[in-house]
C-alpha cells in the first residue's frame, strides 16, 4: 500500500508576509538630505515655520490632538494617523518622539548679514562644539535669552539631525543658524558689523560681568569642552572673559556655560 508523500510546509509568500504590528510598513530611509524631526515641540515649531519644507507628517491620535492644541489646523501638510509602534521602524531606538514625526528638508543656511538682521541681541559663535545635543541645548538657551543667531564652522560642527532638533525643543526654527567655512573670517565680519567679540575662557583675568560690555552688542565665542577655543579663534577675540564658578568645579558643560553667559549679558 502506497502512502502519500509527506506534505511540505508551505513557504511564506513575500507578497503576503505579515505586516508590522501597527499595520504599516517600515518607512524607507529619507532621501535628498531630508530628516525626521520628532517630538511635539520640534514638530509644532517646524509646522509653524514657513521656511521649513515639509514632506510627511506621522502622528498618533493623541499626538495629533496635542499638536492641534498647540497649533490650530489646517496645517501646511496633512497628517497620517499611525500607531505608536510604527515609529520604531524609522527612528533611533532611544528617540523620545511623543507620537509625532515630521519628514522635512534641512533649513537653508543663512548668510551672516541676514542672520544679524534677525534681531539686536547677542550672537553665539561655537568653535568645534560637535555634540548635537549640546548644540541643541545652546539653541534653546539662545531662543530663551533673545540671541540673534548662532554661528558654527561648517566642517567641525554637527549636521542638522532629529536629535539636535529634539534637544533644541523648537528653537532650531527660531534662531538662525549660520555655517561658515572659516570661523576667523566670520569673526572679522562680526567685528565689521559692529559687534564686540568676547571669548569665554576659564583662565581669563576678568569675569563677564566685569568686562564693561554695557551698550555693546556682543558676539560670544564658546569652545569645545576640555579643549576650549582654538588658538587662532582666541587671538581673534577682542577680549576674553570667564564665568565666576566655584574653584571646586573646573568648568561647566558648554551648553550650561552658554545659558549662564546669555543670562549675564541680558541682565545688563
CATH number at residue 126: 3.40.1280.10
Structural domain contains residue 4:
no
pLDDT value of position 143: 97
> In this structure, are 99 and 137 located in the same domain?
no
pLDDT value of position 30: 61
Regarding predicted confidence, which is higher, 11 or 154? 154
Strand 218-223 and strand 196-200: pairing? parallel
Q: Which of 104, 121, 156 is the last residue of a domain?
A: 104
Where is average pLDDT lowest: 28-32, 107-111, 134-138, 196-200?
28-32
Please determine, for residue 243, whether its predicted confidence score (pLDDT) is greater than 60.
yes
> In this structure, are 130 and 226 located in the same domain?
yes
> In this structure, are 130 and 149 located in the same domain?
yes
Which structural domain, as residue segments, surrounds residue 65? Answer: 19-104
> In this structure, are 131 and 202 located in the same domain?
yes
> In this structure, are 208 and 181 located in the same domain?
yes
pLDDT value of position 121: 94
Please determine, for residue 9, whether its predicted confidence score (pLDDT) is greater than 50.
no
Residues 111 and 29: their CA atoms lie apart, in Å, by: 30
Structural domain contains residue 14:
no
> In this structure, are 75 and 196 located in the same domain?
no
Structural domain contains residue 181:
yes
Tens digit of each residue's pLDDT (9 = 90 or more) over 94-130: 888 999 999 999 999 899 999 999 889 999 999 999 9
Which residue in 225, 222, 228 sits closest to 253, CA to CA? Answer: 225
Residues 134 and 158: their CA atoms lie apart, in Å, by: 10
Structural domain contains residue 12:
no
> In this structure, are 35 and 92 located in the same domain?
yes
Find the mean pLDDT for residues 54-68.
96
> In this structure, are 174 and 241 located in the same domain?
yes
pLDDT value of position 236: 96
> In this structure, are 89 and 146 located in the same domain?
no
pLDDT value of position 23: 44
pLDDT value of position 123: 98
Q: Which of 72, 104, 136 is the last residue of a domain?
A: 104
pLDDT value of position 165: 95
> In this structure, are 255 and 169 located in the same domain?
yes
- For the chain, what is the domain count? 2
pLDDT value of position 92: 87
Please determine, for residue 192, whether its predicted confidence score (pLDDT) is greater than 70.
yes
Please determine, for residue 171, whether its predicted confidence score (pLDDT) is greater than 50.
yes
Which residue in 207, 151, 143 sits closest to 178, CA to CA? Answer: 151
Structural domain contains residue 43:
yes
pLDDT value of position 29: 58
Structural domain contains residue 212:
yes
> In this structure, are 25 and 130 located in the same domain?
no
Average per-residue pLDDT for the chain: 87
- Number of residues written out for the chain: 268
Which residues are registered as beta bridge partners of 241?
Answer: 200
First to last CA, the chain: 102
Q: Which of 79, 104, 129 is the last residue of a domain?
A: 104
pLDDT value of position 208: 95
Please determine, for residue 20, whether its predicted confidence score (pLDDT) is greater than 80.
no
Structural domain contains residue 263:
yes
> In this structure, are 202 and 85 located in the same domain?
no
Ramachandran bin of 220, using left for φ above 0, alpha for ψ from -120 to 50, beta for the remaining angles: beta
Structural domain contains residue 41:
yes
Amino acid at each position: 500500500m502506497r502512502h502519500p508523500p509527506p506534505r511540505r510546509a508551505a513557504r511564506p509568500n513575500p507578497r503576503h508576509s505579515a505586516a508590522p504590528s501597527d499595520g504599516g510598513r517600515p518607512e524607507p530611509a529619507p532621501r535628498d538630505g531630508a530628516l525626521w524631526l520628532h517630538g511635539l515641540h520640534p514638530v509644532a515649531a517646524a509646522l509653524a515655520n514657513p521656511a521649513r519644507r515639509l514632506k510627511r507628517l506621522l502622528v498618533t491620535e493623541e499626538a495629533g490632538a496635542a499638536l492641534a492644541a498647540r497649533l490650530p489646523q489646517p496645517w501646511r501638510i496633512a497628517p497620517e494617523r499611525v500607531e505608536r509602534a510604527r515609529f520604531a521602524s524609522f527612528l533611533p531606538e532611544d528617540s523620545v518622539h511623543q507620537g509625532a514625526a515630521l519628514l522635512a528638508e534641512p533649513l537653508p543656511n543663512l548668510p551672516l548679514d541676514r542672520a544679524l538682521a534677525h534681531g539686536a541681541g547677542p550672537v553665539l559663535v561655537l568653535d568645534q562644539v560637535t555634540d548635537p545635543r549640546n548644540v541643541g541645548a545652546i539653541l534653546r538657551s539662545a531662543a530663551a535669552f533673545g540671541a540673534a543667531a548662532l554661528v558654527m564652522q561648517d566642517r567641525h560642527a554637527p549636521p542638522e539631525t532629529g536629535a539636535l532638533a529634539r534637544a533644541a525643543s523648537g528653537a532650531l526654527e527660531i534662531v538662525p543658524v549660520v555655517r561658515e567655512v572659516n570661523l576667523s573670517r566670520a569673526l572679522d565680519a562680526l567685528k565689521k558689523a559692529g559687534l564686540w567679540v568676547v571669548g569665554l575662557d576659564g583662565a581669563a583675568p576678568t569675569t563677564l560681568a566685569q568686562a564693561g560690555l554695557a551698550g555693546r552688542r556682543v558676539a560670544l565665542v564658546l569652545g569645545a569642552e576640555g579643549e576650549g577655543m582654538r588658538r587662532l579663534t582666541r587671538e581673534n577675540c577682542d577680549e576674553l572673559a570667564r564665568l565666576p564658578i566655584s574653584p571646586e568645579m573646573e568648568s561647566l558643560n558648554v551648553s550650561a556655560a552658554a545659558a549662564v553667559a546669555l543670562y549675564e549679558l541680558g541682565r545688563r
